[in-house]
Amino acid sequence: ITVANEHMDRTPNSIEPDFLRRLLLRMYWDGEEEPSVLVPVGDFFGVGHASTTNFVSAPLQMSPEDGKSFNSFFHMPFADGARIEVVSELEHEKVLFYYYVDYEEFDELEEGLGRFHAQWRRENPADGVGEKGQSNEEFLFGGENVTGEGNYAILEAEGRGHYVGCVLNIHNLRETNQWNWYGEGDDMIFIDGEQWPPSMHGTGTEDYFNTAWCPQQEYSAPYHGITLGGGDNWGGHVSLYRFHVEDPVTFERSIRVTIEHGHANRRSDDYSSVAYWYQAEPHRSFSIEPVERRIPRQP
């Protein structure tokens, strides 16, 4: 799928500069009534906060000029039909865009082939703890999380399938001159209803996204990258991606993909995400926040 939008030529002073959160992408497979994909357009193609930037990954790209062309190379199989919709919730402006959708026809599909899914979520702000009376080190590194409760949930799905990655967006809301790294939260993936400890438990946000040592440099690789690196002291808008194409996370009954918002869920930043996965239908139905709750904060 390739999409380009007339709004890309607007200046940041446009009436609705957050239009990429006001446009929704919905996809339905094989006559289903509930969408399998329900994501704001900008986030679906790999960058959050209603922003664009040039980057290249294996399944998703934003291409010049300044990320104005969006491209997806995810396989999206269907048997009896597909419906792809773009829904505008802009209040003042018309939407003009063009697109390509390439598809192949086969006599029959491989048995048991999963259908493509994508879901957007947001927690604004995440439910952290107060820092009054604590040193900066105590606030950022104190406490312990030995249950996974309170983690930010990237995906909660039921059925048989495999998780193929996510885009994670963070707006660092803490205002301080002290060291303010947002990313000490561990990734925890619970498979098939398992309790603590999870099958997959990482050691920090930057580690899950295949980077190290509190990065701010913007970087794109086939399966991981940082498209928005944030500002001074890790403030402002951050957007990262991690795709499990070579290393899919399979599940037979259910999956919960989570990450702490700061060490032991102590931080209260603005988190949003897109999860991508394949599964056998039917899928657990999901909805999306109303437009007024999707609008990004300004950095």
pLDDT of residue 223: 98
Mean pLDDT of the chain: 93
Q: Which helix H or strand E contains 55, and what residues bound it? A: strand 55-56
Confidence label for 29 from pLDDT (cuts 50, 70 and 90): very high
d(CA 178, CA 64): 37
List, for residues 55-113, the tens digit of each pLDDT value: 999 999 999 989 989 999 999 999 999 999 999 999 887 777 788 999 999 998 888 89
Q: Report which of 254, 283, 151 is spatially closest to residue 194, judged by C-alpha positions.
A: 254
pLDDT value for 139? 95
Tokens of 206: 């930057």
What is the C-alpha to C-alpha distance for residues 206 and 170, in angstroms, rounded to an integer? 12
Q: What is the DSSP string of 120-161?
A: EEEESS------TT--HHHHHH-S--SS-TT-EEEEEEESSE
CATH superfamily of 2-8+16-293: Protein of unknown function DUF2961 (2.60.120.1390)
pLDDT in tens, 33-66: 999 999 999 999 999 999 999 999 999 999 998 9
Mean pLDDT of 187-197: 97
How is the chain split into domains, by residue range?
2-8+16-293
What value does the CA radius of gyration of the chain take, rounded to a whole number of Å? 19
Per-residue model confidence (pLDDT) at position 9: 45
> The tokens of 186 are what?
């561990």
The structure tokens listed for 60 are 């998703």
Work out whether the CA dihedral 187, 211, 1, 252 comes out positive or negative.
negative
Q: C-alpha distances in angstroms, 231 versus 8, 171, 181, 218, 278?
A: 23, 10, 11, 11, 35
Handedness of CA 277, 282, 286, 291 (dihedral sign): positive
pLDDT for residue 8: 43
User: Is residue 143 pLDDT above 50, yes or no?
Assistant: yes
**What is the DSSP secondary structure assignment for residue 54, as one 8-state letter?**
-
pLDDT range class, residue 10, cuts 50, 70, 90: very low
What is the model's pLDDT at position 2? Answer: 67
